[in-house]
Amino acid sequence: MRVLVIDDDEELAETIALGLRRERMAVDVAFDGAAGLERALVTTYDVIVLDRDLPLLHGDDVCAALIAVERGSRVLMLTAAGSTEDLVDGLGRGADDYLGKPFAFAELIARIRALLRRTHPAVPPVLVGGGIVLDPARRHASRGGRSLDLGPKEFAVLELLLAARGRVVSAEELLERVWDEAADPFTTAVKVTVSRLRRKLGEPRIIHTVAQAGYRVREDPS
**113-141, pLDDT tens digit by residue?**
888 877 655 455 788 888 899 988 778 89
Give me the mean pLDDT over the 190-206 stretch. 92
- Residue with the bigger pLDDT between 119 and 29: it is 29
Report the mean per-residue pLDDT for the chain.
85
Judge if the upstream peptide bond of residue 121 is cis by omega within 30 degrees of 0.
Answer: no
Q: At what angle do helices 152-163 and 171-178 cross, to 10 degrees?
A: 120
Coil, strand or helix at 148: coil
- For the chain, the residue count is 222
CATH number of 2-119: 3.40.50.2300
Closest CA relative to residue 53, chosen from 75, 32, 74, 37: 32
127-217 belongs to which CATH class?
A: mainly alpha
pTM: 0.63
Domain ranges of the chain: 2-119, 127-217
Q: What distances in angstroms separate CA 104 from CA 16, 87, 101, 180, 184, one per listed residue?
A: 11, 18, 9, 25, 33
